[in-house]
Amino acid sequence: MTEKNLKTQLAHVAFDGPLLNASGIHCQTADELADLAATANLGGIVTKSATLLPRQGNENPRYYDLAYGSINSMGLPNLGYPFYLDYVQKEEAKPTILSVAGLSADDVIEVLRDVQNSDYQGLTELNLSCPNVIGKPQTAYDFVATRKVLERIFEFFTKPIGVKLPPYFDLVHFDQIAAVLNDFPLTHVNTVNSVGNGLVVDIEKEQVVTKAKGGFGGLGGAMILPTALANVRALRQRLNDNIAIIGTGGVTTGADVFAHILCGADMVSVGTQVIKEGLGVYDRLTQELQDIMDEKGYTSLADFRGKLQEL
Ligand code: SIN
């Protein structure tokens, strides 16, 4: 096998490999984050989306495993942003992405003011897309609200920041969100969050499978791969070249990682499959990706990134 260069970059931050954990996956507590720091073939660490105040999240059951993926209604359980801001300033093993979320635009501004005033020089990611907070819509489905919050942020925020998006399903919506995002100096977009407000039915019990919101929850895993790939591709075709893309959604094999990169992803994050398989998944995915690159004679990610062909 020829030597592969799996290095990649988001803004000024260099990563040894393209794989990340999806925010929310094994990244809420100090112990979980320490496990990620020790995980081979994980290029960087994304923290659980942090809010102004700590949150317990939604009632259990709030995650349900399916043969074809998962449904979750976690509701942003997290230790509050000061914990994660402190963590990213101390973490030395791998580059970090500090994920933050707000229950309101004012919350977001307050959190980001502290990030701005801190010594943290790494990447931040604003989660505009959690579908599971009771009574709160997904901000990035409201293009006017998204523009307004970004305008407020870039009045004072000068550090590298990207956004986490929900999946879009109409080409007009890709045009609209790209037109908003292209007006701001974003480092990256992370696409997609879970496919919001799916419903899984247990026909034996004649019941839903998660507690909050009457069982409506975010879908992840294999079943959302085509949606995730479509979002990576459609955004890569529309966003300014200097906005990088983290592809998230549906990865179970190295071929799926390859497909995300072929659609234009600079990095690829893994969620449901980590829960199913454990942190060893990153070794397997890396090996499978390298095997595909070997078969095709590719030696770096740049050899095929964004080079998906049309018929
Ligand atoms: C959650 O905590 O509900 C999942 C995270 C997200 O969808 O942003």
- The shares of helix, strand and coil residues in the chain, as percent rounded to the nearest 5, are 35, 20, 40
pLDDT attached to residue 99: 98
Q: Is the pLDDT of residue 1 over 90?
A: no
Domain that holds residue 234: 8-58+76-195+222-303
**Residue range 280-294: mean pLDDT, rounded:** 98
In this prediction, what percent of the chain has a pLDDT beyond 90?
99
DSSP H helix total and E strand total for the chain? 9, 16
Q: Are 95 and 102 in contact (CB under 8 A)?
A: no
Domain with residue 35: its CATH number is 3.20.20.70
Is 82 part of a structural domain of the chain? yes
- Does 217 map to a domain? no
Q: Is residue 211 part of a domain?
A: no
What pLDDT score does 287 carry?
A: 98
Looking at residue 178, its pLDDT comes to 99
| pLDDT value, residue 177 | 99
Band of pLDDT at residue 2, cut at 50, 70 and 90: confident
Instruction: Please give the single-letter amino acid code of residue 123.
Output: L
pLDDT tens digits, residue range 78-109? 999 999 999 999 999 999 999 999 999 999 99
Name the residue of 21, 63, 72, 141 to mutate for ligand 1: max ligand atoms within 8 A of Cβ.
72
Catalytic hit among 46, 52, 130, 246: 130
Residue 119 — pLDDT band, cuts 50, 70, 90?
very high
- So what's the pLDDT on residue 41? 98
Whether 215 is covered by a domain: the verdict is no
Q: Does the CB atom of residue 160 touch ligand 1 within 6 A?
A: no
Domain count, the chain: 1
What gap in Å lies between CA 190 and CA 179, rounded to an integer? 16
Tell me which amino acid residue 139 is: T
Q: Is 132 in the pocket of ligand 1 (CB under 6 A)?
A: yes
Residue 249 covered by a domain: yes
Is residue 187 one of the residues assigned to a domain? yes
pLDDT at 136: 96
Give the distance from CA 110 to its chain's centroid: 22
The pLDDT value recorded for residue 140 is: 98
pLDDT score at 3: 79
130 lines ligand 1 (CB under 6 A): yes
> Largest Cα–Cα distance in the chain?
54
Q: Is 107 exposed, middle or buried, given 0-12, 13-18 or 19+ CB atoms closer than 10 A? A: middle
**Which residue pairs, CB below 8 angstroms and at least 24 apart, start in 35-40?**
35/279, 36/94, 36/279, 37/91, 37/93, 37/94, 38/93, 39/279, 39/282, 40/282, 40/283
Give the Cβ contact number of residue 143 at 10 Å. Answer: 15
Statement: residue 263 has pLDDT above 90: yes
Tokens of 176: 């609209």
- Mean of per-residue pLDDT scores for the chain: 98
Give pLDDT tens digits for 5-35: 999 999 999 999 999 999 999 999 999 999 9
pLDDT of amino acid 125: 98
> What integer is the mean pLDDT of 148-172?
98
Looking at ligand 1, which atom is closest to the CA of residue 23? 5
- Establish if 205 belongs to a structural domain: no
101 part of a folded domain: yes
Mean pLDDT of 285-295: 98
pLDDT given at position 307:
98
List pLDDT tens digits, range 209-253: 999 999 999 999 999 999 999 999 999 999 999 999 999 999 999
Q: What is the pLDDT of residue 216?
A: 98
Does this model's pTM top 0.75? My answer is yes
Q: Closest Cα partner for 41 from 306, 275, 290?
A: 290
Specify the ligand 1 atom closest to the Cα of 78: 2
Which residue has the CA at smallest separation from atom 6 of ligand 1? Answer: 130
The answer to whether residue 269 scores a pLDDT higher than 80 is yes
pLDDT in tens, 49-84: 999 999 999 999 999 999 999 999 999 999 999 999
Q: Give catalytic status of residue 27 as yes or no.
A: no
> What pLDDT shows up at residue 14?
98
